[in-house]
Amino acid sequence: MIKKVFVVPHTHWDREWFFTSERAKAYLIKDLKDVIDHLEKNEKYGSFLLDGQTSLIEDYLSWRPQDIERVKKLVKEKKLFLGPWYTQTDQFMASGESIINNLRIGTSAASDLGGYMNVAYVPDSFGQESSLPQIYSSFGIKDAVLYRGFSMADTKKSEFIWQGEDGSRINVFRMACGYFIGGVIDENKLSALMKTEPFKTVVQQATTNNILFPNGSDMAPLRHDLPDLITKLNDANEKEYRFKVASLPEYIAAVKKDKPDMAVVRGEQDCGKDMRVHKSIYSSRADIKKLNTELQNYLTNIVQPVLSMGSYFGLNYPFAAIKSLWQKMGKNAAHDSMGNCVSDRVNNAIKMRYLEVKDTAESLVDSTLRFISTHIKSEKYPITLTVFNTLPFVRDKVINKTLYIPSRNFKIVDYENNEIAYEINSIKDNTNLIKGATIQLNPGETIYTPKKVYCINLNIDFGEIPPYGYKQFYLVPLEDKEIELNELAIADTKIENEYYQISVNTDGSLNILDKLNKKLYSNQVILEENGDGGDSYNYSPAKKDLIIYSTSQKHQVQVSHGKLQDKLIILFNYMVPKNLEMRSQGITDTKMPVKMVVKLTKSAKMIKFKVQVDNTKPLSHRLCVDFASQLDTNFSIADIQFGTIKRPLAKEEDLADWAQNQEKWQEKPISINTMQSFVCLSNAKRNIAVIPQAVREYECLGKKDSVIRLTLFRTFGMLGKSDLLYRPGRASGDETVTTPNAQLNHKLEFKFALTTGQSSYDQSNLANEVKDYESPLQVYEYAEFLNGRLTFPLNPSRQFLEPEFSLFKTENKLTVSTIERSSSGLGYCLRLYNPKFHQVSEQITFAKQPKIVQLVDLRERILQDLKIKNKQVILPKIGHDKFMTIYFEF
């Protein structure tokens, strides 16, 4: 039988790589205009796939707006295929909400131009995360064309069903040997083309007589003579193959028509045997990875919930601003950009986009908190402190906050005049700065103007803050006087709270006593420094390495005790090699001072760490921190986009194969992994979890007494290098591009937390404890004298809100992904997911009777009406790693 070969013209277009997005755009305009011209003039050409990402057509039309009607016509005629993505996102490091917004923006932009390709096309991202089948399904996407991460040993045929961690399934049409194989064709060997590699493998792995032939490559222009080439191919292969220019949907429809028997492949796909997946790219450019972690959390945990709360009280929800924030995050989420396997110049642009997002997001939150705070009835005192809770359960936390206060002696009270406990960490006289900036719109009006203004950092115990709501407090100045601050004690080496006692050993490691189960975790939090012989794509040990632990370094200990917080400081006089050459000789000639700060706060189960490193001088190295779990387990538990996954501590079968057949592997099968927020080791009686706030990369060492190794940072000086220990052969990136900024030769700071539990992971509430930690209570201070250049002056507000408010609450069983305004602007969407390995139920209780509560998909299409009884809604039970979106309207 003659096989049908579907030749799909395309380009894989990296918006930025070793070149900037602006340089790429200049060439994109030329190449895409060429595509448009050919699609209009040559009926034989068929169609063109624009890499599945609408950011490219956005770039094109920003410079050639006169072509918009031409583009719309081609899209509607199914000659130019756009979307569904905004950018070709990384699959592992991007958060669930980042991926959702990437698809939202992509499908919306393509729809505005005539429609989007309803196929999850991911040609080059470094592996496939197992939440994606569920996300695709909730967008109404049933088919995916993918490449990297799938092992040919596990997917012997190109067409199969991929089942995600939650059980959702999607049809996969794997590009057996990549998206680039048809980019260059030797016209002298057309009759033998399909019988030689890589096409021989493509034909063998097809489940039907329909063969996918991607015709394109990286940043490749359209092939002008493709119709003529098709004629030549048909003439040379007329008895075996029939070639035709086609689209991906045409190819998929043809395969489905033949109803192949498709095997089921389960779970995440990150195998580096047949193609590279760059497993340790999670720690490239730690300074920028830190911004990504912070902003993904901030947008979903703070920004969207706060702006939704503001809209409830009448403030317009800034849909366009939110879209703009996610567009910038989307540009940074493109697989090379998020991996930071790009030039220094491009990394600078990525960093600037993150800083723009940060500035805009914080300003939107600030103005919204101010709007609500100033509309609350507050006649008692001139200085208010309003505390906002963006999660739907009661929270009672000690908060660290810097305030402007007219006296060093003051009290904080709630609206019932109950005093609130606090302690002061630092005081600075800012009288001239603040008073000099005050602006009165009506100078004749009398406002509260203090004689002095101090900038005071303090810890405050506000008590219980209502679920998804706020509570207002008042700052009352008393007679000014000198205040004694907590002093650091050099002789002491121990701190504690209700849950933990932490002491410093003579070698600088920590002993952590879990008071609840009387378990001593000894010799913890050890810093581990070693060489990095890798590049921007892969960590790889130095070929002659030297590992240096903090336990071998001189150190000093300082401690301070407070009524709300204890603090421990360890100063390490770290000495390391200057570079890989010095390391190979065992010479530790370079200072790398490290300051580790450990905090225990009243009633907090999270041990907070901050590590500050003076990395001004060392080159090409890595710094990790080790936590010995003292647990005998075979797997780690880490959270993914909408749940958790169990991973083996080591890929033993793959490692054995690597040892025997290294030449057949693209990368060593290491077990360096990423997480969304935490990694946990657990047995039936206890668990221990690490929660990073910057680089989210870990590796577990050994089976017994397993150690969690958290990467803090790694440094390198080249975009690409060849012949790495962990990645033999060619370089992944250009070997001529140096990346001196990736050496991170400046002062660095990283935060993370550690917590222990007294049960198995599945019986704990760890995921929600981490969500609580990553969603800090927001405190807004308002006083008339603060209006000015620092905060912008506003007209007086009508005060009509009560001093305490809650919109709704849950039982805190499922985990909140985000709370946002619905796209219609009429209601709200609450997204929840199940991080447990068993079914979980949940109940929502509203403060007022809602008109509608519905279960919707990610397009906000109604799946089910939910029954409301006495302001309560019982949600359907959901299984492991399932998410649900709840729409409600008042």
Examine residue 521 and state whether it is found in any structural domain, yes or no. yes
* Helix and strand counts by DSSP (H, E) for the chain: 17, 47
**Which of 242, 271, 300 represents a domain boundary (last residue)?**
271
Question: Is residue 703 very low, low, confident or very high in pLDDT (cuts 50, 70, 90)?
Answer: low
Give the strand pairing for 828-833 and 883-889.
antiparallel
pLDDT of residue 795: 83
Is residue 256 within 8 A of residue 142, CB to CB? The reply is no
Give me the half-sphere count of Cα atoms (radius 13 Å) on the Cβ side of residue 120: 31
DSSP 482-511: --PPPPPBSS--EEE-SSEEEEE-TTS-EE
- 182 or 508, higher pLDDT: 508
C-alpha to C-alpha distance for 323 and 317, rounded to whole angstroms: 11
- Is the pLDDT assigned to residue 870 strictly greater than 70? yes
Same domain, 355 and 434: no
Q: What is the pLDDT of residues 483-494, one digit of tens each?
A: 888 777 777 899
- Is the pLDDT assigned to residue 790 strictly greater than 80? no
- Is the pLDDT assigned to residue 539 strictly greater than 70? yes
Percentage of the chain lying above the pLDDT 70 cut: 100
Same domain, 559 and 678: yes
pLDDT of residue 705: 67
Q: What is the pLDDT of residues 736-766, one digit of tens each?
A: 999 999 999 999 999 999 999 999 999 999 9
Examine residue 280 and state whether it is found in any structural domain, yes or no. no
Q: What is the pLDDT of residues 605-644, one digit of tens each?
A: 999 999 999 999 999 999 999 999 999 898 999 999 999 9
Q: What is the pLDDT of residues 300-351, one digit of tens each?
A: 999 999 999 999 999 999 999 999 999 999 999 999 999 999 999 999 999 9
The beta-carbon contacts of 573-576 under 8 Å, at least 24 apart in sequence, are 574/527, 574/529, 574/548, 574/550, 575/548, 576/529, 576/548, 576/618, 576/621
pLDDT of residue 248: 98
Same domain, 831 and 872: yes
Q: Is 273 helix (H, G, I), strand (E, B) or coil?
A: coil
Same domain, 499 and 636: yes
Average pLDDT, the chain: 95
Examine residue 379 and state whether it is found in any structural domain, yes or no. no
**Which of 224, 245, 271 represents a domain boundary (last residue)?**
271
Same domain, 417 and 361: no
Same domain, 782 and 725: no
Give me the half-sphere count of Cα atoms (radius 13 Å) on the Cβ side of residue 271: 20
Domain CATH for 431: 2.60.40
- Is the pLDDT assigned to residue 545 strictly greater than 80? yes
Q: How many folded domains does the chain comprise?
A: 5
What average pLDDT does the segment 768-786 reach? 96
Same domain, 457 and 364: no
Q: What is the pTM of this model?
A: 0.96
Q: What is the pLDDT of residues 553-571, one digit of tens each?
A: 999 999 999 999 999 999 9
Domain CATH for 134: 3.20.110.10
**Which of 356, 374, 392 represents a domain boundary (last residue)?**
374
What average pLDDT does the segment 694-717 reach? 92
Examine residue 279 and state whether it is found in any structural domain, yes or no. no
- Is the pLDDT assigned to residue 886 strictly greater than 80? yes
C-alpha to C-alpha distance for 110 and 37, rounded to whole angstroms: 20
Same domain, 418 and 523: no
pLDDT of residue 504: 97
Domain CATH for 506: 2.70.98.30
Which residue segment(s) compose the domain that 594 sits in? 494-773
Q: What is the pLDDT of residues 411-453, one digit of tens each?
A: 999 999 999 999 999 999 999 888 878 877 777 777 888 999 9
C-alpha to C-alpha distance for 440 and 794, rounded to whole angstroms: 9
Domain CATH for 335: 1.20.1270.50
pLDDT of residue 791: 82
Same domain, 151 and 261: yes
Taking Cα atoms as reference points, which of 393, 371, 223, 367 lies closest to residue 799?
A: 371
Same domain, 691 and 702: yes
Same domain, 756 and 783: no
Examine residue 456 and state whether it is found in any structural domain, yes or no. yes
Same domain, 466 and 560: no
- Is the pLDDT assigned to residue 789 strictly greater than 80? no
